[in-house]
Structure 1
């Protein structure tokens, strides 16, 4: 686990400047750093840099940039290749100098070319320079566990694990991409390939970007493609369905055991996050099965009983016999982290569960350098409550179409009767866009997210209008695939990466193993959602390790008292951000609209006159944006 950055440019970038870029990510790799610059044709040069958090081969032999024995290939790499031992056996013709997975990347590229990525099972962001071809490749893992940003303007390209090195690049202009802000306010994160800045992008999960010099134009030629795409992999795997439940359960269990065991390979202390829920409990149980000593487990508790799952985690830990550490946190400990959000998240990111995620990461880092997590179980095995709602909405869709048609009649519309319909009926009736069928929600929220921003017509829609590409008629499955493409990498994995790396902690996710993900597509949906039981097959595997009575309870999740904060200790700060004069000078938001909305929210909980709705989500998204803006622009 590390941070990487670099460039391809004709600018005269000094090694000291590359080092300054690299050192903005010190928290991602405090153990070592390396920076090098190489010449290319036509006056171009390539810079590669890495901050290292030593996990495999702690010696100097793991230093990066790392080079091939013939000097042709140079690599900087963030992440882990979990099957590197298996790959190494097939690369015996290469003369290895180290025992780390970085060198396996080099050997694999020399043998198979860029198609080597098809053999990698892991989480990674890789920058690989081929001096013979004078090409630079940027590569991101299948599901987007590790981040990769890049800035390009035709004449140069700058890349990094975070935005801070790019912001530190000589001559970089911080121009805000206004068209993403409405979607950010609604979704609370910015999904790939977009970022908050113009000319800056996230490399999408499962993608490769190739950069080379065009001698005729003295410009850079860039080509991007997907080597692993959810819609394609899903369609391919569905052709090989496993229709016997016992077989599916047995094979999935073995894949999860193998994925967990491979993620326990480390030359540093390792533990596991344990919330007491199905996913983290199952992964912890499998880790305990593979360990010769009690696995170190970590959980945080809340004083407020309705949010507290620590007592359940303790029961699971006691049953499994782990070496358990728990920390009960109060509201002040959560509140104290609000100020650090922009520094470590780089761009506006308003999923408030980032705060308890940072706290449990800080706790784990006191004892270990690597922590296993249960991320991915909900998306791949149908765990979220929204999936139940989606299934119900599909059954009511025809009735919703009829209501929508009736409400569109002139005399009904004129009388405003549609506004008097119950909320659930209105949401289903308004859900007419075929590309966003599973993303229904309050139209007021979407309208307000758009109205808050000064628009010129180029803004991105708040929803992702891409659902037809999955070729799936069942809404529940379609929404799961959409979440794998958007919410999982854009929100969940981003949250965990920044929260853990803030404390130089590596988080590993066995459920997001490539083989596990691909196998999940072969499992019939009714094995995942069985008679209303979400994650049925995953729960069934968990019961092989842990008694049902220790796990079977409603999902809770982390709770952060946003309303209390925004109307209490953050009130004056929020009000100052929404002053009309300030917003007018900033030139991003509709000053009158936002100022009125925030004041109504603080006063009554409403998002404006006569709305009768709580707009804490939009108010928090706005607050986090302004906090980020103050940090990076003021």
Structure 2
């Protein structure tokens, strides 16, 4: 885990040093960090990490840079820009910037948020990666700009009680997926994914988008399917390997599904870097246990695996104190104990660099919307074949499926409220995307960002670095460019993944059709801890002050949640807002 903060005075010279080490350790008491500070005239840069710092360089002549930077296409960049090997990520970016200016960021593949101060022209650039894996926030004071990797590092520069109530409406409309400039705090701004902010003397702050998936127009067409499988394998393999580090420090959060097992198997094929697995298992809650799937794979690679039994390590213990506080509402934080328990064991075993299969569902699970594309291209026979087979496999109405997916498709209507501004925004965005398979992929990848907000909190608590190979920019762009049929067939989803990984997985996994859920685990957790849960949520702020839901609707859905029944689709989003505001109020009281 890396953290950073940079303060740039508009005119005056800095007269005091700033530290972030104490702030990090106050937030994450068990986190041991090293800090390095750089100061020059009107700029202060502070970088901290839970790993060793080796000769961190911030200044390159009249150029200054700080950030959390992981570049995954170094070889290509070195060749394209005719650079020397062995440079740090910061040095590489600066050398590119010298050659091409800020346009160089178009060539970056990786996960990054960083700030460049160009003293020659008194310009500040703050850049966030294309997918939004690394966060970046900023505050503007009277004579100072402050940028940071995390909101909590900015607490000296804003009032945590000065809430932006419009934000919660946005959070609700977007069902917990936030990638907009605003934050819960009026004075704190976010840089959206694929954007950079430019600050110049005596000019307005400008935010510019430099990458968006919907802008990609070229397509990939191969002569046969095997070529797609081979290329997909190549890109995913690179996405996995560039996220491994040298030594015995890597693990995969291994379940019995296609996504994590594919990452584990590809990592095992790499002889340079070792990989271990850490898995949740259940002896009592058999329906949640997946050992029947992944133990055969462990045998294939002569690996014993590391198990974490969660039968009695339940969620919602000491509710809501057990839910880690993040400086934004976070749907994933509600169930984060599950991941935290596994991550703690991984670190205890010495594996702090953790890979997960997150993003695989969003990237690779197509749907029957592909039939709309078949209709457009007059592939009538294929259209009816898909509709018929899918309806048989899922025991659903072929007629209704044709209405919903082929004749009157509306991808966002099931996920976004029709009257919301976000509905209009995303509807306009999807209009310029030519096919429904691409529209769906764009929407799914946009929603994948909701999970990423919890990674830094889990990392701080446990000492892990979380990595998600399926969110690799190269892989996302490849899937966007190829025919939609390769994501979905009526028989099963993730077609290209199943076919590409067949030789390195086991038939038990590649032929698997069902998906394990943890409903029994969630229900057991609710049943045991319900008395403490209901005390917190029975008088909700989201009803009384924010007006996001009626009292009656809230009471009804809380009852359904308690009894394991299906709740409204936005229930977890509402719950996340409710818990977050109450935890913030408690935090303010304690301070």
Is this a same-fold pair by TM over 0.5? yes
RMSD after superposition: 4.1
Aligned counterpart, 1:415:
none
**1:216-231 matches, cutoff 5 A:** 221-231=204-214
Provide closer, same or farther for how the CA distance between residues 268 and 226 of structure 1 changes in structure 2, counting only shifts above 3 A: farther
Q: Cα distance 1:152–1:190, how it changes in 2: closer, same or farther (>3 A)?
A: farther
- The Cα shift of 1:510 comes to 2.7
Q: Which residue matches 1:569?
A: 529
Q: CA deviation at 1:544?
A: 1.8
Which residue of structure 2 lines up, in the alignment, with residue 34 of structure 1? Answer: 36
* Structure-2 residue corresponding to 1:479: 440
Q: 2:261 aligns with which of 278, 281, 293?
A: 281
Please state how far the C-alpha of 1:376 moved relative to its aligned partner: 2.6
Spell out, residue by residue over 1:134-178, the C-alpha distance to the aligned partner (whole angstroms, 9 max, x if none).
Answer: 222211111111111223468643322222112x12343532222
Q: After superposition, where does 1:135-534 map in structure 2 within 5 Å?
A: 135-152=123-140, 156-166=144-154, 168-185=155-172, 189-193=176-180, 194-214=182-202, 221-233=204-216, 235=217, 237-238=218-219, 240-266=220-246, 269-291=249-271, 295-302=275-282, 303-336=284-317, 339=320, 343-351=324-332, 352-366=334-348, 367-382=350-365, 387-388=367-368, 437-441=410-414, 461=421, 463=423, 465-470=425-430, 471-472=432-433, 474-485=435-446, 487-489=447-449, 491-534=450-493
- Pick from 122, 130, 140: which aligns with 2:118? 130
The secondary structure found in structure 2 opposite 1:521 is helix
Classify 1:178/1:532 alpha carbon distance in 2 versus 1 (closer, same or farther; 3 Å): farther
Query: 2: distance between equivalents of 1:270 and 1:428?
Result: 46
Distance change in 2, residues 1:159/1:528 (3 Å): same
SS of corresponding position for 1:569: helix
> CA offset at residue 494 of structure 1?
2.5
Q: Structure 1 558/392 Cα, relative in aligned 2: closer, same or farther at 3 Å? A: farther
Cα distance between partner residues in 2 of 1:128 and 1:28: 32
Cα deviation for residue 230 of structure 1 reads 0.9
SS in 2 for 1:228: coil
Query: What is the 5 A alignment of 1:21-170?
Result: 30-39=32-41, 45-54=42-51, 58=52, 60-61=54-55, 63=56, 66-68=58-60, 70=61, 72-88=62-78, 100-152=88-140, 156-166=144-154, 168-170=155-157
Answer whether contact 1:140 1:148 (CA < 8 A) is retained: yes
Partners of 1:189 and 1:297 in 2: CA distance: 30
Contact 2:287 2:520 in 1 (8 A): no
- CA gap 1:616/1:225 in 2 versus in 1, 3 angstroms: closer
CA contact (8 A) 2:260 2:356 kept: yes
Check conservation: 2:251, 2:275, Cα contact below 8 A.
yes
Q: Deviation at 1:541?
A: 0.8
Q: Give the drift of 1:558.
A: 4.7
Q: SS in structure 2 opposite 1:221?
A: coil
Q: Could you tell me whether the CA contact under 8 Å between 1:365 and 1:503 is conserved in 2? A: yes
Task: Structure 2: give runs of 5+ residues left out of the alignment.
Answer: 376-395
Report if aligned partners of 1:527, 1:536 keep a CA contact under 8 Å in 2.
Answer: yes
Aligned match of 2:384 = none
Alpha-carbon distance in structure 2 between the residues aligned to 1:514 and 1:107: 22
> What's the offset of the Cα at 1:183?
4.7
Q: Which residue of 2 aligns with 1:589?
A: 546
CA 1:364–1:463 in structure 2 vs 1: closer, same or farther (change >3 Å)?
farther
CA–CA distance in 2 between the matches of 1:279 and 1:612?
27
User: Which deviates further from its counterpart, 345-354 or 264-273?
Assistant: 264-273
Provide the secondary structure at the position in 2 that maps to 1:147: coil
2:175–2:570 Cα contact (<8 Å) kept: no
* Contact kept? 2:245, 2:353, Cα under 8 Å: no
Change over 3 Å in CA distance of 1:623–1:563 after alignment to 2: farther
Q: Is the 8 A contact 1:8 1:156 kept in 2?
A: yes
* Structure 1: stretches of 5+ with no match in the other structure: 40-44, 215-219, 397-421, 451-459
User: Following the alignment from structure 1 to structure 2, what is the Cα–Cα distance between the partners of residues 115 and 603?
Assistant: 53
Residue 408 of structure 1 aligns with which residue? none
1:356 Cα deviation (Å)? 1.7
1:104 aligned counterpart, secondary structure: helix
| Distance in 2 separating the partners of 1:568 and 1:523 | 48
- How far apart are residue 521 of structure 1 and its match? 2.1
Question: How many angstroms apart in 1 are the aligned matches of 2:567 and 2:280?
Answer: 35
Contact 1:36 1:49 in 2 (8 A): yes
